Amino acid sequence: MSVSTSRGTVLRWQGAIAALSADDRRMLFDRIIGARGVQERTADIVARVRREGDVALRALARELDGAALDSLEVPRREWTRALAALDPALRRAMERSAANIERVHRALLPVTQETETEPGITVGRRPDPLQRVGVYAPGGAAAYPSSVLMGVVPARVAGVEEIVLCSPPGRSGRPADVVLAAASLGGVSRVFALGGAGAIAAMAYGTESVPRVDRIVGPGNAYVAEAKLQVATVVGIDSPAGPSELLVLADDSADPVLVARELLAQAEHDPLAAVVAVTTSARAAEDIQRALSEQLPAQPRHGICAAALAGQGAVLYAESLDDAIAFANAYAPEHLLLVVREADRVLARLRHAGTVFVGASASVAFGDYMTGANHVLPTGGLARSYSGLSTLDFVRWTTYQRVSPAAAARLASDVAVFADAEGLPGHAMAARAWSAEAGGAA
């Protein structure tokens, strides 16, 4: 179902959803995370870092980033200098973004919860900040200070004691100045010039220079996402956030030029980005395809956009809005933009998306930078079970229980029956002791 337009736009899929073959649906829904080559290469890197520590990290920086690292850690004075030298307009924008992120995440801080199940029996949960977390900020083709703020500010709001940032080095041997400036602005504790699967392994297992963390958060490419999955047995992760995704759900009221613009904005992230539009009519789908064809040649990152459209791009139409909503829930995108009549009514029926942008003016770009909502989101269809980054990712819950002596006496008999049924006589004896004590007290 691929197509080339007269202006050179190449889409992997176009046409009716109902006409998709089983193979088409499998490729659309089983996205890049877990690809065999990625798994094997990532496993090699993780094992190498775990075995060789800093030596492996320096070698990987030379091999993958073309950087010779004298020190893996970037001194604080360099972040401070980068922030002081930042363009004033960019600094104002970053400060506004950080303030909005803090405002949203402080409002959504988890709180202690308690309930009394029976008189004298209290069960509660208390959110305790993690001691040390690792934040990954992508680099390479582009620098992402926004990802620094999205990871660091919520961690600070949650009360994390130490925040470690890893971001790939350029040929200078350190991350981009805008990343360092964001680290200084956001309140990072330490910065390391490390990228890719190697950085994830270093934070998960620790090396001579890089401390072992309690949780790793942040977006990245397919190798970063796969590395997070591979180390998830030894360290907490937020979600395996890989290449960017966008699904636009549109009806015949949508402006095709706007829809195409939003698709291309996300396609420019990565050749592996997945951008899909689902409409309620064949005519609307044709209009969006035409708009893509017209806009693509003018894109500054034309090659990346073209590769994403050719690899994972689709413009499809459904027989009804119900079918389009069902497709969106099955696809489970990272970003979902609603350009439909009665968008709030449609929003209520959506269950599987990292974040939903409601209405034509809610551009995904606003969420990427400035609304305060977090842009670190599950990809690869994992929005079915994962949520976007929040302060919940930076706490662990301590559960506590209180049982009064009178309540213990009331529980004793039923607990002992349970324990006897499971063949645990010690449990039964511990419970019956409270019945005996209650009887003695009487």
Please state the domain extents for the chain: 3-30+243-375, 36-240, 404-441
pLDDT at 35: 61
The pLDDT tens digits for 61-87 are: 999 999 999 899 999 999 999 999 999
The overall average pLDDT reported for the chain is: 93
Is position 375 annotated as part of the catalytic site?
Answer: no
* DSSP secondary structure letters along 364-388: HHHHHHTSSS------TTGGGT---
* Model confidence band, residue 141 (pLDDT cutoffs 50, 70, 90): low
Please determine, for residue 29, whether its predicted confidence score (pLDDT) is greater than 50: yes
The CA-atom distances, in angstroms, between 92 and each of 14, 22, 184, 314 are 42, 49, 14, 37
**Catalytic residue selected from 226, 269, 334, 375:** 334
Asked, colleague to colleague, whether 3-30+243-375 and 36-240 share their fold, the answer is yes
Range 394-410 average pLDDT: 97
Range 336-365 average pLDDT: 97
Please determine, for residue 434, whether its predicted confidence score (pLDDT) is greater than 80: yes
241: left (phi over 0), alpha (psi -120 to 50) or beta: beta
Range 33-38 average pLDDT: 68
pTM value is 0.91
Looking at CATH, the fold of the domain delimited by 36-240 is given as: Rossmann fold (3.40.50)
The CA-atom distances, in angstroms, between 193 and each of 73, 154, 171, 276, 408 are 6, 22, 11, 34, 56
CB 279, CB 316: distance < 8 Å = yes
**Catalytic residue selected from 105, 335, 375, 427:** 335
Choose the weakest-confidence range: 64-68, 220-224, 359-363, 420-424.
Answer: 220-224
Q: In this predicted model, which residue has the larger pLDDT, 74 or 221?
A: 74
The pLDDT tens digits for 36-65 are: 688 999 999 999 999 999 999 999 999 999
Q: How far is it, in rounded angstroms, from Cα 197 to Cα 287?
A: 41
The pLDDT tens digits for 70-129 are: 899 999 999 999 999 999 999 999 999 999 999 999 999 999 999 999 999 999 999 999
Nearest 5°: the CA angle 344, 105, 224 is: 90
Q: How far is it, in rounded angstroms, from Cα 87 to Cα 73?
A: 25
Please determine, for residue 6, whether its predicted confidence score (pLDDT) is greater than 90: no
Structural tokens at position 385: 């079970």
**What dotted CATH number matches 3-30+243-375?**
3.40.50.1980
CB 4, CB 296: distance < 8 Å = no
* Model confidence band, residue 395 (pLDDT cutoffs 50, 70, 90): very high
pLDDT at 2: 46
The CA-to-CA distance between both ends of the chain, in Å, stands at: 82
Is position 269 annotated as part of the catalytic site?
Answer: no
